[in-house]
Structure 1
């Protein structure tokens, strides 16, 4: 726990049980007295890719789930939804109040979250809003590849580029090799400008290791961050993309490895259900001391 601008901020990593892995997030469990500028200032001072702020609680909802209004801020701007900060917040609430069912009211929509105890670990599973998958214009794809300095020949033709949404918009680009994915060095300003124009939160760069195992990376210049270490919202969008393209069965469990190239390895589990268009993303987490 720490204090930033006089506000009590908890720090958790999501999608890793090791505080040195996964993606760190700030969590403010009582942000009812903070305005937009104050929340942005806390997020900027903390410096993580995103921080979550609980601005209200509506009490027990359907089936006794605890309901909260949650807002998310990067160091540069508010974002409609953030998966890793959702997981971090759910784990913080579970450590305080015990595991169980939660409902987060976000700018992107209603996100149910369930926290379970698995041995000594807590695991949070979020259920996305209704996803969608869109085409990307050829000229916009060309600009994205130019900003990344990726030749079009380095893309995997089996996973065609698309814009996927499951609470936030992400451009999915698949590398043909692990080496291409590892070689990430991009034009920050150029990619940021394109992402603002297309209303993208991150790029979901992927390499398919096996039918249900992927390695992923997420440039996040619009948030003021070169790369996000573990990205739950993009994982949900990617699950929707794979189903839309019939690249996985209608019911599937996928494993996404992220953060390895940054020295912060994490694991995201993506679940698809044939009877539900929404996508479930789960992971462990850990409190960061200090």
Structure 2
């Protein structure tokens, strides 16, 4: 296998001990699919992003990249936290500003800017999302694998499958205590999700109209739980808009990773006249050995 230089970043956090870890390979031109999967498995983060230059179509030359995302077990079409990590890694080297990522899910523009403390924040714009219903039997099977009961769900936020680059089943817990107690059937949920082409389950609890606590089981990627999930956050924004729970101009705050001891902060924005969803978060490099 060719040698790949892997950098390590924490996304959706300003603290290397928080958020979601991602590997970033800025020069993956010499790696084939098996190589990338092997690197991701060795790294062990929920995802590792592999970048190579692509023909510049939407921005100036040099700021458009082909990107592929691999978990330790499989390739995924799109990953939000590895997008944030990759954008921050690039901005550290070529400067903040606009980037374009050509992913298997489609074209994803990303803007990177520094805050007053010099921390880099990336805002990705999703591909066109969609939301679709899910049958009662499918919901029952998911709840069985989660070891949840139907009466533990929030009736005002019904189950749906939501997509903004990858597919996620959204289930809303009625209480914070239900969300906090996550002990699921790993192989059973992995089978369920594989059969339905789901990347994570987006488990949420509504703290207020625009603030949510979130958890994301990710057994299909070989990961018990994803600490901060940008792709699911974008899908969740589309879900709330579809239900009429969030309109144009809404800005949502998602807290994820709290129950894992790796708190992350995701900002989700819906804009008037644009069906796409914007997800923002900070990203920081993780020192070697941490």
Same fold (TM over 0.5): yes
Which of 81, 96, 105 is equivalent to 1:108?
A: 105
Q: Aligned runs of 1:49-68 on 2, under 5 Å?
A: 49-59=46-56, 61-62=58-59, 66-68=63-65
Q: Distance in 1 between matches of 2:277 and 2:60?
A: 21
Which of 230, 236, 239 is equivalent to 2:237?
A: 239
In the superposition, relative to structure 1, how do residues 61 and 247 fare at CA in structure 2: closer, same or farther (>3 Å)?
closer
Q: Which residue is equivalent to 2:153?
A: 155
Contact persistence 1:214–1:257 (CA under 8 A): yes
Q: Which residue is equivalent to 2:175?
A: 177
Q: Distance in 2 between matches of 1:135 and 1:61?
A: 34
Residue 103 of structure 1: how far off its partner (Å) = 0.3
Q: How many residues align?
A: 287
Q: Which residue is equivalent to 2:29?
A: 32
Deviations 1:208-262 (A, max 9, x none): 0010000000000000000000000000000000000001122200000000000
Q: Distance in 1 between matches of 2:14 and 2:275?
A: 29
Residue 88 of structure 1: how far off its partner (Å) = 0.1
Q: Which residue is equivalent to 1:121?
A: 119
Residue 57 of structure 1: how far off its partner (Å) = 3.1
Q: Distance in 2 between matches of 1:106 and 1:67?
A: 11
Contact persistence 1:13–1:286 (CA under 8 A): yes
SS in 2 for 1:21: coil
Q: Which residue is equivalent to 1:276?
A: 274
TM-score by length of 1: 0.97
Question: Please, which runs of 5 or more residues in structure 1 have no aligned partner?
Answer: none
Q: Distance in 1 between matches of 2:214 and 2:58?
A: 35
Question: Please, which runs of 5 or more residues in structure 2 have no aligned partner?
Answer: none
Q: Distance in 2 between matches of 1:23 and 1:218?
A: 12
Cα root mean square deviation, aligned: 1.3
Q: Distance in 1 between matches of 2:71 and 2:136?
A: 29
Q: Which residue is equivalent to 1:97?
A: 94
Q: Which 4+ residue blocks in structure 1 deviate beyond 6 angstroms?
A: none
Contact persistence 1:65–1:101 (CA under 8 A): no
TM-score by length of 2: 0.97
SS in 2 for 1:58: coil
Q: Distance in 1 between matches of 2:52 and 2:8?
A: 17
Q: Which residue is equivalent to 2:205?
A: 207
Q: Distance in 2 between matches of 1:266 and 1:215?
A: 10
Q: Distance in 1 between matches of 2:59 and 2:191?
A: 42
Q: Distance in 1 between matches of 2:275 and 2:3?
A: 42
Compare the two structures and name the one with the higher strand fraction. 1
Q: Distance in 2 between matches of 1:278 and 1:115?
A: 18
Q: Aligned runs of 1:138-153 on 2, under 5 Å?
A: 138-153=136-151
Which of 42, 47, 68 is equivalent to 2:44?
A: 47
Q: Which residue is equivalent to 2:130?
A: 132
